[in-house]
Amino acid sequence: MMFTNKQFTNKIRADFPILNQEIYCKPLIYLDNGATTQKPKQVIDAVSKFYSETNSNIHRGVHFLSEKSTLHYENARETVRQFVNANSTKEIIFTKGTTDAINLIANTFGEKYIKEGDEILISEMEHHSNIVPWQMVCERKNATLKIIPFNDKGELIFEEFEKLLSKKTKIVAVTHISNSLGTINPIKKIIEKAHKLNVPVLIDAAQSIQHFKTDVQELDCDFLVFSGHKIYAETGIGILYGKEKLLEALPPYQGGGDMIKTVDFEKTTYADLPLKYEAGTSNYVGAISLGVAIDYLQDIGFDDIIKYEKELLDYATKKLSSIKGLRLIGTAKNKASVISFILENIHNYDAGTLLDKMGIAVRTGTHCCQPVMKHFGIAGTIRASFAFYNTFEEIDKLHDAIIRIQKLF
């Protein structure tokens, strides 16, 4: 089934009840999918059904509901494993989200392997979540954070990456897709290059997992992280994928229930993977919602989603580029369905506020990427980020709304 078929697109949109509403008497046009995606009724219903029929804490009891809850939770782990093609469910850790997963690795990897004089390599286009945890490790350990720069199109400069990579580098952490520029980074090439020096690589897949097929074995990444709420599941759940051998060697992170084998005041022993990293009552309902969201996407067909989102991006790029006084920020050759722009003589907040009054939800500001804004010498951008439930008509309306705003100024 294809998205160009209007009936099919309408059917998809009907799965997302939130889209069917008016904001300030205008039909809602939701173009803030980079910040969070809306939830299909399949996910909403599954969560409601779970609470109505099954809810009980996992890994705790022998009673019927607890066992059923545990089964749902572990089935969701298996769904994620298959989805990213990990070798084993031991490699799939449920976290609170991308930020939590990066902090987990920064802390445990930092604790074990980073020492004075070492270097951690990230890029200039990282989200604050993939900057600050590493900066904190560097401060604690007297290590240095090194930055791979990007060019004015928003493309990482690979030769600079090659120059920065050295025997001092202990880990590389880069985003697959930039949330502020839309750039798709050549992560396979980055991983291959880093591995030549035996340097492990963490991939921030927060903006790619919902747009591309991800195969961790094919990529050969060492760690990969993402958030459920950006892939049509609930908030407060995320994934850390890590190669079993590496996770096995790292120390535990948070202590508490579920992450232990035995506790004694003299000595505690820790649970095997993946529970070693799941201290306390995890967001098991969120995990279940993630499994349902992945099933939902796979039912629609990832190939069709990818193709349609590319068409949306190309259409929007052409349409918005034609507006005088609009400058695209992030013009990389390889881009995902994210468009950042600024308007001449109009502050991004003013534009965002006016677009909102026209029913159009976009993101404005720095997008948690202050170094990106610094690179371009701008205060922030207006960002439209598309999902497969968006339409060409919505892009037309965004275009017309921008022209109206320019006329108002």
Task: Name residues whose C-beta falls within 8 Å of residue 169's C-beta, 6 or more positions apart in sequence.
Answer: 118, 119, 120, 121, 146, 194, 197, 199
- Closest approach, Cβ 187 to ligand PMP, in A, equals 13
What is the length of the chain? 409
Task: For residues 339 and 105, give the distance between their C-alpha atoms in angstroms, rounded to a whole number.
Answer: 30
Stretch that binds ligand PMP, among 16-24, 200-208, 305-313, 318-326 (CB under 6 A): 200-208
**210 scored as a contact of ligand PMP (CB under 6 A):** no
- Please, what is the Cα angle at 243 between 90 and 279, to 5 degrees? 45
Q: What is the DSSP letter of 98?
A: H
179 versus 337: smaller Cβ distance to ligand PMP: 179
Among 9, 33, 79, 98, binds ligand PMP (CB under 6 A): 98
- Tell me, residue by residue from 221 to 260, as one string, x for binding to ligand PMP by CB under 6 A and - for no binding: ------x---------------------------------
Helix ranges (DSSP H) in 322-383: 348-357, 370-376
**204 scored as a contact of ligand PMP (CB under 6 A):** yes
Task: Name residues whose C-beta falls within 8 Å of residue 289's C-beta, 6 or more positions apart in sequence.
Answer: 39, 43, 46, 47, 228, 233, 234, 237
**97 scored as a contact of ligand PMP (CB under 6 A):** yes
- Closest approach, Cβ 130 to ligand PMP, in A, equals 6
Residues 277 and 247 sit within 8 Å (Cβ to Cβ):
yes
- Please, what is the Cα angle at 402 between 209 and 351, to 5 degrees? 80
Task: For residues 25 and 21, give the distance between their C-alpha atoms in angstroms, rounded to a whole number.
Answer: 9
For ligand PMP, how many residues bind (rule: CB under 6 A)?
13
- Closest approach, Cβ 106 to ligand PMP, in A, equals 13
Among 107, 207, 348, 381, binds ligand PMP (CB under 6 A): 207
368 has catalytic annotation: yes
Helix ranges (DSSP H) in 336-385: 348-357, 370-376
- Closest approach, Cβ 231 to ligand PMP, in A, equals 10
- Tell me, residue by residue from 118 to 137, as one string, x for binding to ligand PMP by CB under 6 A and - for no binding: ---------x-xx-------
Tell me which residues touch ligand PMP (CB under 6 A): 97-99, 127, 129-130, 175, 179, 204, 206-207, 227, 368
Query: What are the residue numbers of the active site?
Result: 368
